Structure 1
C-alpha cells in the first residue's frame, strides 16, 4: 500500500471528508483495523485565497509546489490536493516533484465516461466555472461542458465562500441550487451535473436530483485509493 500525501485545508470541511473516505475505503478493502498511510499539510485557506485574488498566480503556484515537495520528502509515494480550484495552479508541478499527482479532473472524466455523459453542467467557484479546467479535457473527448450565467455563477461562488467552507449548510441555499439545476436542465438539456467544488457535495446529494451527478470529491477519492493499491 502506497503512502498518499495530501494538501488540505481548502477548505477544512472537504478535507475532513477526504481523510474519512480514503480511510474508510482502505479499511473496507483490507479489513480488520487497517487504515490509509497519509501525510497531510493543511493550509490556512485565507492565506491562499489572498494569493488567489492577485493577478499574478506565481506566488500561489510556488506555495503549492513547496508543500508538495515537503510531502515527497517525508515519504509520500503519490500526492494530491483536496480542492478543484487549486488544480488551476498546478501545471508542471508533477514533473518537478517527480512522483504521481492524482488530478481531480481526471477522476471526474473517468466518471463521465462510466456514466456515458456527453453534455454536463459544471458548478463550482467562479474561478473554476470561468476557466478551461474542465472544458478543455472534456472537449478532447467530445464532451461538452456548460456553466450557469454570470449572475448564477456569482451566487454559487458566494455560498461556497461564505457558507460551505465555514460549515454553514442552508436548506434555502440547497433548494435554490437544486431549482437552478432543474431550470438549466429544462432549458439546455444536459445529461449530467459536475459538482466541481469539493464543498458542494456537502450541500446536495445524488438522490436530490433525478439526473446523473458527478461528485468530484468521491470520484477523486476513488481514484486516489485505486492508485494507493496499484503495483
Structure 2
C-alpha cells in the first residue's frame, strides 16, 4: 500500500471531501471498515496563491506549492496530489521542483472523458481555469471540443466560487442562475457534458440538475488516487 500526500487548502471544502472520500473509497475497495489508508496533508493558503496568480508571479506560485509537496515527500508520502484544479496551471513547473510524483487532475479527467467517448464539453471553473489553456488544450488535442462561458459569465462564476463555494456557502439564487446559463450553452452548442472544473462546484451542481453528464473531476481524481494507494 502506498502513502498519499495531499496538498490541501485549495480550498478547505475540497480538502475535507478528498480526505473523507479517499478513506471511504479505500475501505470500499478492500471491503473493510476496519482499515485506513496512510495520508498526510499540508494545507496551503488558497487566497495567497490566487493573489500571486493575479499578479502573474508564476515562479512564486510554483515554489509555494512545490514547498508543500516537498514537505509531504519528507513525511514519507509515495505520491501526492493537489486537491484543486487551479494550481494545475503550473503542474509541470511544480513537478519539476519536487521529487514527489504528483497525480494530475487533468490527466485523470481526460482518461475518463476518452473512455466515455465524450466530444463536446462545457468547462466551468475559476477564471484561471477558464482563461488559460492548461486544462482545455489536452482535451482539444484528444479531439474533444471545449466550450467556455462568455467573458462576463466567467467573471461571475469565479466570483461565486471564491466568495461563496470556497466558504461552503451554497446560495439557491446562484444555483438557479448557474443552471440557467449552463442549459443555454447546452442548447446552443449541442453539448454532451459539463466539466465541473473546480473541486467546489459539485457542492452546487448535482448530477440530476442537468440533462447531460456532469463531469466531476474531483471524484475522478479521488478514484484514481485510491487505485494508486492500493498499487503494490
Residue 96 (structure 1) shift: 4.0
Residues 22-101 of structure 1 aligned to structure 2 (within 5 Å)? 22-30=22-30, 31-101=32-102
Is 1:217 paired with 2:218?
yes
Partner of 2:6: 6
CA offsets per residue over residues 63-110 of structure 1, 9 Å max, x none? 111111111111000010110011112214334423421000111112
Is 1:18 paired with 2:18?
yes
CA offsets per residue over residues 166-223 of structure 1, 9 Å max, x none? 1110111111111111100111111111000001011111111110111011011011
Residue 151 (structure 1) shift: 0.9
Partner of 2:161: 160
Partner SS, residue 17 of structure 1? helix
CA offsets per residue over residues 123-177 of structure 1, 9 Å max, x none? 0011100111222111221111110001111110010011001111011111111
How many angstroms apart in 1 are the aligned matches of 2:84 and 2:218? 8
Partner SS, residue 51 of structure 1? helix
TM (norm. structure 2) is 0.96
Partner of 1:196: 197
Unaligned runs of 5+ in 2: none
Alignment root-mean-square deviation, CA: 1.2
Partner SS, residue 109 of structure 2? helix
Distance change (3 Å), C-alpha of 1:230 and 1:146: same
How many angstroms apart in 1 are the aligned matches of 2:180 and 2:29? 38
Is 1:183 paired with 2:184?
yes
Runs of 4+ in structure 1 off by over 4 angstroms are none
TM (norm. structure 1) is 0.96
Partner SS, residue 92 of structure 2? coil
CA contact under 8 A between 1:111 and 1:214: conserved in structure 2?
A: no
Residue 49 (structure 1) shift: 2.2
How many angstroms apart in 2 are the aligned matches of 1:149 and 1:178? 15
Partner SS, residue 223 of structure 1? helix
Unaligned runs of 5+ in 1: none
CA contact under 8 A between 1:39 and 1:76: conserved in structure 2?
A: yes
How many angstroms apart in 2 are the aligned matches of 1:13 and 1:99? 24
Partner SS, residue 91 of structure 1? helix
Partner SS, residue 66 of structure 1? helix
Is 1:137 paired with 2:138?
yes
